[in-house]
Amino acid sequence: MFGLVALSPASGLGTMTIRAYSAPQHNRFYAGSDKNFIGASYNFSGVGQFSSGHWATLLSDNYFITADHYSPDINESVTFYATNSLSGKSYTYTVKSLTRITSAEGQLTDIMIGRLNTAVDSSITRYPVLELPNQSDYLGKILYNYGDHDIVGRNVLDKIEVGTYGSSSNQMLRYDYDNNDTPSVGGDETLLQVGDSGAPSFIATSSGLALVGIHWVSDFHTDSGDSFIPPYANAISAVLKTNGQALMVVPEPGEHWYALLIACALWLMRRRGCLT
């Protein structure tokens, strides 16, 4: 964790660095005819922005997730766009309550859950949290990082560890900025800056985007860090349940499960005389 600092607004806003940034490729709301957005296959409608610049990622009809160190105010407005075009439909809501997540060990985290004044329009996606069997299963996965000015880049999850900054202590995922990722993300590689606080990192699954991180820290040169969300799914779910809602989770089978299923299918076919 050496050298990392919280993405505090006191440092001034800054847009997420993308190694070979190109507006047609990385800007969600780019409007030119040459648009070739890397996230076009996925639904980013559930990522909203507050009037103050804070970020909200929708978890259920009324609840969103963001960072505690850069969270919105009560009664602040947030706007979601139904498409990747600013000319499309948009929906604006206000914050009615905020709940900071506490770990099972009683530690305050940098994870903040907010409740909106009413259910968000059904055209806006609600994101599940990706829950894999082991923490090691997340390593090497490609992250889709959302950043300030509605840009999207990619990086590879390198490490999961415990981070402590200010009054917050929680598990954190790390991804570096070294142009040496496996698998390679090429010019899409990201480095967090101050304006990215509270925005999400997703992993693409067979059913769409699943949430794994909320932007927290950076050294602004070589490393970025998110609050790692899956370990706190139960605590987050408990907040949603107070208003009769549920946190969605997505288990994504590892490759070994697919191999096992294929092996079982072949075994059954042989027993039935389908194969020789």
Q: What percent of the chain has pLDDT over 70?
A: 88
SS3 54: coil
Q: Average pLDDT of 236-249?
A: 97
Is residue 273 in some structural domain? no
Strands 168-176 and 159-165: antiparallel
Give the C-alpha separation, 169 to 268, whole Å: 50
The answer to whether residue 1 scores a pLDDT higher than 50 is no
Instruction: Count up the domains in the chain and report the number.
Output: 1
Cβ-contact 229, 214 below 8 angstroms:
yes
Six-digit token pair at 16?
């997420």
Question: Is residue 264 predicted with pLDDT exceeding 70?
Answer: no
268 domain residue, yes or no: no
Q: Is residue 263 part of a domain?
A: no
Domain contains 265: no
- Residue owning tokens 């070979």: 20
**Residue 275 placed within a domain:** no
Residue 262 within any structural domain of the chain: no
pLDDT for 66 equals 98
The model carries a pTM of 0.90
The verdict on residue 140 lying in a domain is: yes
Residue 22 lies in a domain: yes
Domain that includes residue 131, residue range = 5-255
pLDDT of amino acid 257: 45
**Which CATH number belongs to the domain containing residue 84 in this structure?**
2.40.10.120
